[in-house]
Amino acid sequence: MKLDLLTSLYVFMLAAFIGFEVIRRVSPLLHTPLMSLTNALDAIAVVGAIILAGESHEHRALLAKVLGTIAIVAATSNIVGGFLITDRMLRMFKASGPRKQ
């Protein structure tokens, strides 16, 4: 267990560094899509909610099921809505040059 927590800290630290390096390069032009995209990716928390809602629990099974189900709804709406709007925004960004028809 101890080792696992330590590993988690290393994973977090490395991911944060990667995040800084990658996201620093995102042009300010795309900061709004950046926020909606990271929001959609962040909704990967749905994975934890799915396991919570689907696993069998000896105690407090109802609590786990109810909270897990609501959590899935919240995260899924972020996934669907987040990817949809990010793509809609990015489709609007066009370079100049040959004007569109």
Partner 1 sequence: MPTEHIIEATYLIATALFILSLKWLSSPATARRGVFAGEVGMLLAVVGTLMYHGIVEYKWIAIALVLGSIIGVPLGEVAMTAVPQRTALSHAFGALCVTLVGTAEYYLRTPDVPPFMMSVLSMEIILGSLTFTGSLMAAGKLQEILPQRPLTYKGQNFVNLGLLAVAVAVAVALVMHPEKMQLFPVIVAIPLVFGVMMIIPIGGADMPTVISLLNSYAGLSAAAMGFVLQSKLLIIAGALDGASGFILSVNMSKAMNRSFANVLFGAFGQEQASGAAGGAEQARSVRSATPEEAAAILAAANKVVVVPGYGMAVAQAQHKVRELYDALTKRGIDVKFGIHPVAGRMPGHMNVLLAEADIPYDKLLDMDEINGEFPQTDVALVIGANDVTNPAARTDHSSPIFGMPILDVDKARTVMVIKRSMGAGFAGIENPLYYMDKTLMLFGDAKNFVGAIVRELASGHE
| Binding positions for partner 1, 42-71, rule CB under 8 A | 42-57, 59-60, 63-65, 67-71
* 98 touches partner 1 (CB under 8 A): no
What is the total count of residues that contact partner 1 (CB under 8 A)? 84
Q: Please state the closest distance from residue 58 (CB atom) to partner 1, in A.
A: 9
- Residues 33, 86: contact at Cβ < 8 Å? yes
Greatest distance between any 2 Cα atoms in the chain: 65
Q: How far apart are CA 5 and CA 13, in angstroms?
A: 12
Interactions with partner 1, residue window 1-20 (CB under 8 A): 1, 4-5, 8, 11-12, 15-16, 18-20
The HSE-up count of residue 9 (CA atoms within 13 Å, CB side) is 5
